[in-house]
Structure 1
Amino acid sequence: MQEVKQSSGKEAVDELSRKYTLLRKEIGKIIVGQDKVVETVIISLFSNGHSLLVGVPGLAKTLLVSTISDVLDLDFKRIQFTPDLMPSDITGSEILGDNRQFQFNQGPIFSNIVLADEINRTPPKTQAALLEAMQERSVTVAGENFPLPQPFFVLATQNPIEQEGTYPLPEAQLDRFMFNIPLQYPSYEEELQVVKATTGTHAMDLDQILNGKEIQFFQKLIRQIPLADNVLEYAVRLVHKTRPEGEQSPDVVKEYIQWGAGPRASQYLVLGAKCHAAIHGKYSPDIEDVQAIADYVLRHRIVKNYKAEAEGLSEEDIIRQLL
């Protein structure tokens, strides 16, 4: 694996675009289709954000996350969320050592990539332990603070069906996720490839494309990418339009939305647009880059009212009208 040259400006953006192409090629050896999903997850990694993957069972959500960890030289842990999972099962706990002194035993949260599988299957107290670590990037146990390894990403999965016995994430906790990424069923041709590849004996070897230091370098690079005033204003205005009490809100929002997106949505729209532009070889984002990731940023940050539910209007329908 070649080291990224710690250059700046256009050369660094070109290198990011090249590395992204290599990542997509390696991930494509295992994951068939789901191109937009893979792209959006990678954008969240380079933007130092967390993502929530939503899809029915069997759509390779877990396989996607483990494949991404394989092509990145990073530590990976998987946590299966269940109703009896305790906060200490995530963060770790103090145990009595051989010297009769308490010592901290780190939990699976101390990893670079954490897969929170079926996050809505565990009670709010345990969800809060994970979400606190996502926000603070550290864990506090017995009054002592333990920083998490960097880079640190949480990729959570959620099943949109079988909601009996689940604990839906509150809006304030959903806001911690940069993206809400829906997974769709594969096409007929894609499913043929999946079945053919997974029912034989051939095992695929993956090359590691990036390490932790390189990812942190690209994360800093994304923030240094210049942004035109009109693009910044478009992103903020788009978020303002989702708020029913706002002066700029269109009729569809006033009629169907109960709560709109907060300022964090504006921040993630800008960061996501910068990264979307960079991975496609552009040195500064435009309005099209904001629109490309707007659906994933806003979907879980707007709350529909009863009228929208009654008329079968989805968040995507409303966002599409805003764009």
Structure 2
Amino acid sequence: MPDPLRKIEDLACALQELRLHVGAADLQVADRKVNGQLYLSLANACLRNRAALLYGGMGANKTTLVNLLGSAFTGLSFDEVENLMITGHPEQTEEKIVGFIDPRQWSCLPHPSGSPGEEPSPIQVLWTPWARSRWKVINEINRFPSGKQNLFLELLQKRKIGYAGETLELGDTCYFATMNPDFSATYPLDEALLDRISISVPAAQPDFLAGLALAEREREVSELAEALPRLTAEEFRELPGLVAGVRLDGQVELSIISLLRDFTLCERAPSFDKTQLTGGSKPSRGLCAGCHYFNNPEVCCWQVDEGLSDRVRQDLRSYTRAVALLLGLDGSDGLIEVMRAVAPYVIWHRVSPDRTMLERPPYYGAGRLQYVRDLVEKSINRTLNERGEMNIIFARAVDGEISSQEALEELSKSDDPIARLDYVKALERMV
């Protein structure tokens, strides 16, 4: 009987023993600590049609780790996976990335002066190995200019590639991208593309102990990679089904929805939805001045410019399930802790924190992930504690246990933004 989870566990151990990935246990889930770069990458490999971005400086083992995982999950050699990868630079053409037309086909076309009604022979695109692969790696994605970034945006959005009138269906695919900090040859990532990147994982340079461990590695990476456990094609196909089998309870689902609303609700935006704000009317441009929620540290809406799209909800559910599966956690307590740990990585690259708050200790202008982690913590704790009575009142009204008018009178007394702008508005439509 195939046991892909056991092989993935063996793979994580082998990467450590072979000195192919040595990192700090910086991701805490309940009472267990694991390396975030490794386990969130493993979670992405268990999913399909989600994109993971590994962000960090040069030599942080981003590209090598993804290619090692590609070798283990697809059964290809390390060199074969490395050859599939595309690397960003401004002169990288669409033909080199997705495909081209074989010029020999032109000699097979009928002459323009051929008989009327004669159908020309169809042009066939020669798709690149990267385009046809179910394991796609985009190395140094921010070295692609905006025009090439639009290609990846369309690819993630439509899950198909179009070229010269031909279309290639991509099917269920694992997507990974790596990104270095801003250099002279890099370009900003488009906000729409960032929203379609499901999770962003910081990759740190090896610390002192990791450096000592890496110094013991004497053989080449490609040689050591041959000793890694490998999944069969059947086991690789089985993984999304195993992830889907992890059930999220009502506590987790409510926390996810409330988290999105905490970041997105805005009393001054159209339909109270901050995703509709234009560039000149964001919290950082003075939108929140005079608002009664402004400067309340327990409220998230004024502390980030952007709202969160529904894609964030889908990504939170997927990665919570995948990480819970990898760690063998279940039950309400375990899953809420997984969601608590995963959520900052799903959100932090999609929002711009309030600069005045971010520049204060303990963030000092650089701790963007920690800043978002603290906002996530406040939202989840508030949902599970202070909002308990509010949630019960609304649920009872929806279930018909109390009248909508009675619930409306109770919730109208609350100053919680979700109560005022979501629950009350929903109840007003029910009365």
TM-score tier after normalising by the smaller chain length: 0.7 to 0.9
Matched, 1:271 2:318: yes
TM-score under structure 1 length normalisation: 0.86
Change (3 A) 1:315 1:201: closer
Query: Is the deviation greater in 53-62 or in 139-148?
Result: 139-148
* Residue of 147, 152, 160 corresponding to 1:138: 160
Q: Which runs of 5+ in 1 are unaligned?
A: 5-14
Report whether the alignment pairs 1:286 with 2:294: no
Amino acid at match of 1:44: N
* Aligned-pair Cα RMSD in Å: 2.7
Out of 16, 19, 22, which is 1:32 matched to? 22
Instruction: Give the drift of 1:268.
Output: 1.0
Q: Distance in 2 between matches of 1:198 and 1:255?
A: 52
Question: Is the radius of gyration larger for structure 1 or structure 2?
Answer: 2
**Residues 199-239 of structure 1: CA distance to partner in whole angstroms, max 9, x if unpaired?**
78994232342134322322022123222111111111112
Q: Structure 1 residues 170 and 198, CA, compared in 2 at 3 Å: closer, same or farther?
A: farther
Q: Counterpart in 1 of 2:117?
A: none
Summarize the Cα distance change of 1:128–1:154 in structure 2 as closer, same or farther, 3 Å threshold: same
CA distance in 2, matches of 1:299, 1:74: 33
**Kept after mapping to 2: 8 A contact 1:243/1:259:** yes
> In 2 relative to 1, CA 309–86 (structure 1 residues): closer, same or farther, beyond 3 Å?
farther
Pairing partner for 1:18 from 6, 15, 21: 6
Task: Confirm whether residue 116 of structure 1 aligns to residue 117 of structure 2.
Answer: no
Please show how residues 1-323 of structure 1 align to structure 2 within 5 Å.
4=2, 15-28=3-16, 29=18, 30-33=20-23, 35-48=35-48, 49-74=50-75, 76=81, 77-97=84-104, 100=108, 102-107=123-128, 108-148=130-170, 150-162=171-183, 164-198=184-218, 203-204=223-224, 205-243=226-264, 245=266, 251-252=296-297, 253-284=300-331, 286-308=335-357, 311=360, 312=365, 314-323=368-377
Letter of the structure 2 residue corresponding to residue 221 of structure 1: L
CA drift of 1:318 comes to: 3.3
Which structure shows the bigger proportion of residues in strand conformation? 1
- Secondary structure of the residue aligned to 1:286 is helix
Task: Summarize the Cα distance change of 1:208–1:131 in structure 2 as closer, same or farther, 3 Å threshold.
Answer: farther
For the structure 1 residues 261 and 142, does the alpha-carbon distance in structure 2 shift closer, same or farther, using more than 3 Å as the test?
same
Q: Using CA pairs under 8 Å that are at least 6 residues apart, name the structure with larger relative contact order, 1 or 2.
A: 1
Residues 163-215 of structure 1 show CA distances to partners (whole Å, capped at 9, x for unaligned) of x3422112211111111000112221111111221578994232342134322
1:189 alignment partner AA: L
Structure (1 or 2) with the greater helix fraction:
2
TM-score, structure 2 length as denominator?
0.65
Provide the secondary structure at the position in 1 that maps to 2:305. strand
Structure 2 residue runs of 5 or longer lacking an equivalent are: 25-34, 110-122, 273-292, 378-431
Residues 201 and 345 of structure 2 are in contact (CA less than 8 Å); yes or no, is this contact kept in structure 1? yes
User: Do the aligned partners of residues 198 and 52 (structure 1) sit closer, same or farther apart at CA in structure 2, a change above 3 Å counting?
Assistant: farther
Query: Partners in 1 of 2:87 and 2:56 — Cα distance?
Result: 16
SS of equivalent to 1:97: helix
Structure 1 segments, 4+ long, off by >6 Å, are 199-202
Q: Does the 8 A contact of 1:139 with 1:146 survive in 2?
A: yes
Q: Residues 270, 67 of structure 1: CA spacing in aligned structure 2 closer, same or farther, 3 A cutoff?
A: same
- The 1:198/1:57 distance shift into structure 2, 3 A limit, reads farther
| Contact 2:4/2:236 (<8 A) preserved | no
Letter of the 2:216 partner, please give it.
Answer: K
- Calculate percent identity across the aligned residue pairs: 23
